[in-house]
Structure 1
Amino acid sequence: MLNDELKTSIQQAYRQFLENKELKPRYGQKLMIAEIARTLGAIECDDEGKRQSDPAVAVVEAGTGTGKTVAYALASIPVAQAADKRLIISTATVALQEQIVFKDLPDIRHKSGLSFTFTLAKGRGRYVCLSKLDQLLQSGQENVATMELFAQEGFSIDVDEGAVKLYQGMIDELATNRWDGDRDNWKGELDDQLWRTVTTDHGQCSGRRCTNFGQCAFYKAREELTRADVVVANHDLVLADLALGGGAILSAPADSIYIFDEGHHLPDKAINHFAHHGRLRGTENWLEQSTKQIRKLVAQQALPGDLGRWLEQLPDRLQATLESQQQMFAVVESASQFPNPDSYRPSFRFANGIVPEPMRELAGHLKAHYSGICELLTRLCDELKEAMDGKVDGVDVIDAEAWYPLLGAMLSRADAGFGLWQLYSIQDPEGEPPIARWVWLLEQEGNFDLEVACSPILAARTLRQNLWNSCYGAVVTSATLTALGRFDRLKMRAGIPDSANCAVVPSPFYHEDAASLRIPALNADPKSPDQHTEAIIDCLPALLEEQSGALVLFSSRRQMQDVFAGIGRQWQQRILMQGDRSKQELISQHRKRIDDDKTSVIFGLASFAEGVDLPGAYCEQVIIAKIPFAVPDDPVEAALGEWIESRGGNPFMEISVPDASVRLVQACGRLLRTESDRGSITILDRRLVSARYGRALLDALPPFQRRID
């Protein structure tokens, strides 16, 4: 498919872009364009345009300064247009999503000569639901039972004066076309709870049957998705679409080329997306209240035919499920032994994902109960759809519209319960990675609850089946895709096909000239937190005197706070510590201090080790307290390590060290953000030179000038 005409189109677009921007070609960027074009251009299709060849996946690690967005856009847009496929660019963060839509793509289109359209894709939760808005402003209390049940499903029945004013303002802004219904475009701040009251999800939305369908903000935005050549989404939205079979929100995978920017986040996002959890007491309360309100509703308003008959069956189904839920609480409570109940979030994990037989048996009963509820609610929702089309005698269209989101929300919650207990009722296949299963102990205002959770320990199979094998083509890119110089970690976690084209393209930065990496002679073992903290307090002032703008990264909040408390008043005044204010406020205050020629130091945790852009004087030194090994009490990571060990592997060397390597590279990447940046990196952890794995971690870092005291 990558014929001479297509090659010429890509080369000409790149040449024209560079000329119009007055830029010189970057070697790494050219290689990235070539790797992507070669992979996507090798796809073989049948007469209907469906891929017949092996999965076409390009995995490209490209450091800061490569110009990844330009590279993948110029390489993939012409290929996608030639194949009549939609290009879906997916990111992990809102900041990058907005940068691509509002800055990068307009610039590429203007300067490259390529002609293409693009739009931003968001989930339903970012758009106002007109039906809910109308209901909140007009419903009153005519049907108390219905409104009380709506409250159980997250709807508000007590709309105070301030909320009424806000919602009326939304109606007015929509009516005069001054607002498009997108939360991000609302003129002021919106309280999360107030917003949740006027938005919807897939289960509650009646789609084209809604009387407000023609004015629906979400569906108006969705129309653009079907017309645009390029759609910019996020990983969560792509995964949600794939979970619905693909093509429910975005274009079908077979008709799409995916670009996963910040692709190192994809495996964890996928694991989180397919995890299940449920609070036992909270679910009992939901079942109990729903049973009462449905019975009250049935007694208050008789419905004809199947609709009435099915609705009358619902309370008994809910009651039976409630009784099993109550039994489950006692079973889980007796099976869970929390080793540290006074910790921040006590948890108990079932070894090897194996739960006691009484719990597994009862989970099977709950699975059956929720299956029955889902079947009944599905029938009810389908019948209400027919009623909305005017095809059910005796049921008013307006009543059907009012009931549908309520029962749809109940269906979503029941389906979540089914998913949870299904995974607790089965035995994991022999030889396959097990499901991690654990319990959290929760306490609030003297009341405690048990949250039962489960999750796949690897997303490989899910991504392989639903994404790589199904899509037309895909590109995964990031500055940190390799671990210890290899792609093995990503392949294991993301299920990247063996046929994938994996490449590392060189960074344009001259790391050895631009920065030094120092490991001081710190006489303290990071495994002894108090001793290590005292050593950091002693050496930090001298290190911070060297530059005006610095970033100090900690792996522990407690250590960060202890260092701040012990460093002295003189330095405390110069330090901005994560948690004292929002991340954006903290960065803004830091920039202002540097602009005013003052010293400013940021104390941050893991979230400041990635995605923070502080070029030039804003960050001339990065200090890393210790090797960023993962917290050992994460249930999913612990289950993964346990599985690897059961197969004769070494979880520390196969999981902990590679993961730490990626985090360490990300942390060091905060220093050089442009080709003119200069500075130093200091790591206060002697294990890099004393431990047997230290050399591998050091060698995985960019080739900074090293100074080991």
Structure 2
Amino acid sequence: MLGAKTKEIIRNAYRRIGENLPNFVPRKEQAYLIAEIAKTLSGEYSKERKQIVIEAGTGTGKSLAYCMGAIPLAMSKQKKVVISTATVALQEQLYLKDLPFLLSKSGLDFQYCLVKGRQRYVCKQRLALACHSDDEQALLWQEKPKASDIKLLKTLNEKLQSGKWQGDRDSWPKPIPNHVWQHIQSDKHSCLKHLSDHTHCPFHKSRETMDVADVLIVNHSLLLADIELGGGVILSDPDESIYIIDEAHHLPDIARDHSSAMATVKGAIDWLGKISGTADKVSNLCKSQRAISPALKLADYSQEIIADLQKVNSFIDANQNAFFSEDKQYRFENGIIDKNLKNLAEDIQSATKKALAEINKLYNLLMEEVKDGSVQMYQAEPLLAESGFEIQRLENLEKIWFMYAKADNEKAAPLARWIEKTSGKRDDYLVCASPIEVGFMLEDHLWSKCEGAVLCSATLCALNSFDHFRKQAGLGANDGTQYAKLNSPFNYQENAVLHIPKMDFEPNVSDKFTDELIKKLPKLLKKQQANLVLFSSYWQMETVAEKLRDTSKLEIMVQGEHSRQHILEQHKKLCDQDKTSIIFGSQSFSEGLDLPGKYLTNLIITKLPFSVPTSPVDQAQAEYIKLKGGNPFMLLSVPDASKKLIQSCGRLLRNEKDTGMITILDRRLVSKRYGKNLIDSLPPFARNIEY
């Protein structure tokens, strides 16, 4: 139950914000959210399932609400609050704006920090070593470092030593090239806190800050990496954590990507051929004779894997016509692979697991000798990094072939398995696998283990229901999870009009629909206003833009022709001068684009954002739904389009006083049965539908 003391702390904090902030207007939606989050996390609704899923429209102030509802409660229970986001923009907003605001205005006393993955930090020791341009150091580079690379490294080292740079990649004012960063980034195999040369590395200093912080700001990928390791390895233990998953609509897709694996065939054969060389170097450097046996075994297992991968290559070669007759990609129907390939997968996975055990023995032996002083760190550093890199490759190889070797659970969706034919310096085969559904993984590793969770977003409902998201995220229908849907406080009826004009053609008649867009758009674009036109097809966007520039002499900024930042800067400059501005954008411009007030008054959506299942994972999911007797279009495509359409329409009104018009040129909203459901799931704009 929510204790009286914690209730009072939350009330006082909210009151102080009102007192310390000029023109602060308490919002009933925000107050309701704070109360619901606090009650859920305290166990008032369910002691076993302290979770709430919230769809909160623009302007409800959800970030302040979840911080107010969760932080005082977590501190009273001595738990950490882990706020996870999908985008860097929201992370920065929380770290630079929202949490400092809460700390300064509410009277709450807490510490917070931004947590990044290890590879976002420089390794102090590796940076110092990389600054030397001698022959021994040059060997560690894949290509000989340029003079500019050495100059950059020395500048980085100087700023790190003087305290003018904190050592994370994102805080350096200019982009650090990948080939340079990969050489100096922290890695889990050589940059270890118990080694004296690494004690004060930026990564370890950041983790010390994390240990004393009450609130951790992370991204979804880092959160998933932690729970994949069992939880509590990178972040705090799940049972000691209250998770706030903001932008939660991204979580299932990111979890699916995170759980997938892929590896080349010929490429793996190449690096496996070099792994015995690494083993020999480690064995020769170690003083102990104990390194000889694992080095020999590693060489033997590597040869076993190579032989089996050569058989895989021959198998795919022999089936070229069947696999790649029309495409460079072949998906195994229902995830079922040939018995010969399955047997090879089992052998490769088994041998890779054994090889991993031996290379880890070598790595640990070398680490022991560094600790006891038998081997100097400067000698071991390159080999620790090299063997660490090979360990990561072997772990990935073991993962992909395990996914091919394992039998699918008859009660669950099969894995999607496919092969891609790649081309570059030489042809190769990329073996890929991914889960179709990840809800069970999120349930097993996150929801069932955490102290509590708040999942929120402006778009979690599809067709006015949480069902689609609930299934994707692994939440049960009656498991105690709470659900809340709060509409935006904006006056949609007065501030915006949804216009669906007459059209002669629907988008499925592609060429004629494109011609009609070219004909009608000039009349729909408004002079001396901010216009955003959203397309579902790059080809259609570029075709229409080219024709309108030619025939109507319109000045159009098209996504892809310049950077997003450049387009938005030019757009705002034109709007500030009360000139006409026209942006043509794709689906990626329908989310995360904030153009308040006069920066967007006329939004045109050319086509409903239906996704065609072109990826092997989407195709496998549609196939599985059909197998179970369902309709993939109604169960996947329509709910997904509903969410995307809401996001697209959400670009127009960003503040309470914003006004404008949304025009949708897809008549399927009127002609198809699902169209009414899509319209009804949108905010209550004033409607102007032409029949």
TM-score of Structure 1 vs Structure 2, range by shorter chain: over 0.9
Instruction: Measure, in 2, the Cα distance between the counterparts of 1:296 and 1:139.
Output: 26
Pairing 1:491–2:477 present:
no
Counterpart CA distance in 2 for 1:60 and 1:125 is: 32
Query: What is the alpha-carbon root mean square deviation over aligned residues?
Result: 2.2
Q: 2:393 aligns with which of 401, 413, 435?
A: 413
The 2-side partners of 1:535 and 1:378 are apart by: 64
Partner of 1:5: 5
Gaps of 5+ in 2: none
Query: What's the secondary structure of 2:253's corresponding residue?
Result: helix
% identical aligned pairs: 40
SS at match of 1:215: coil
CA distance in 2, matches of 1:90, 1:179: 25
The aligned counterpart of 1:178 is 164
Residue 155 of structure 2: aligned partner:
169
2:431 maps to which of 419, 432, 452? 452
Deviation, structure 1 residue 347: 2.2
| 1:229 paired residue number | 214
Give the 3 Å change call, closer, same or farther, for CA 619–338 of structure 1 in structure 2: farther
Task: Look up the equivalent residue of 1:590 and give its one-letter code.
Answer: H
2:206 is the counterpart of 1:212: no
Alignment of 1:28-427 (within 5 A): 28-42=29-43, 53-138=47-132, 140-142=134-136, 147=139, 155-156=141-142, 158-202=144-188, 204-291=189-276, 293-294=277-278, 297=281, 304-335=288-319, 346-390=328-372, 395-427=375-407
**2 CA distance for matches of 1:97 and 1:474?**
18
Q: Tell me how far 1:139 sits from its aligned partner.
A: 7.1
Query: Quick check: 1:463–1:495 contact (8 Å CA) kept in 2?
Result: yes
Of 557, 560, 566, the residue aligned with 1:579 is 560
Tell me how far 1:637 sits from its aligned partner.
1.5
Distance 1:112 1:131 in 2: 42
Q: How far apart in 2 are the matches of 1:295 and 1:454?
A: 30
- The code of the aligned residue for 1:428 comes to D
d(CA) in 2 for partners of 1:607, 1:519: 23
Conserved in 1, the CA contact under 8 Å of 2:286 and 2:366? no
Deviation at 1:452, TM superposition (A): 1.2
Q: Is the 8 A contact 1:482 1:489 kept in 2?
A: yes
Residue matched to 2:491? 510
State whether residues 206 and 385 of structure 1, in contact with CA within 8 Å, keep that contact through their aligned partners in structure 2: no
Aligned 8 A contact 2:286 2:369 in 1:
no
**Cα displacement string for residues 421-443 of structure 1 (whole angstroms, at most 9, x for unaligned residues):** 01101220112111111122222
Are 1:15 and 2:15 an aligned pair? yes
Mapped to 2, the partners of 1:41 and 1:26 lie a distance apart of 23
Between the two proteins, the alignment pairs up a number of residues equal to 687
Give yes or no for contact 1:336–1:439 (8 Å, CA) kept in 2: no
Deviations 1:650-705 (A, max 9, x none): 11111111011111111110111100110111111111111111111111111111
| d(CA) in 1 for partners of 2:95, 2:282 | 50
For residues 337 and 592 of structure 1, the distance between their equivalents in structure 2, rounded to whole angstroms, comes to 56
Inter-partner Cα distance in structure 1 for 2:480 and 2:123: 44
TM-score w.r.t. structure 1 length? Answer: 0.93
Closer, same or farther: CA 236–336 of 1 in aligned 2, 3 Å: farther
Residue identity matched to 2:357: E
1:541-580 → structure 2 map (5 Å cutoff): 541-545=522-526, 548-569=529-550, 574-580=555-561
Residue identity in the other structure for 1:390: D
SS in 1 for 2:170: helix
Q: 1:429 aligns with which of 402, 409, 414?
A: 409
Q: SS of the counterpart of 2:683?
A: coil
Distance 1:480 1:547 in 2: 31
CA contact (8 A) 2:297 2:355 kept: no
| Structure 1 residue 229: Cα displacement | 1.0
Inter-partner Cα distance in structure 1 for 2:291 and 2:602: 67
- The structure-2 alpha-carbon separation of the partners of 1:17 and 1:311, relative to structure 1 and needing over 3 Å to count, comes to same
Letter in structure 1 aligned against 2:60: T
Change (3 A) 1:618 1:401: same
> Equivalent of 2:581, from 600, 603, 620?
600
Q: Distance in 2 between matches of 1:94 and 1:173?
A: 25
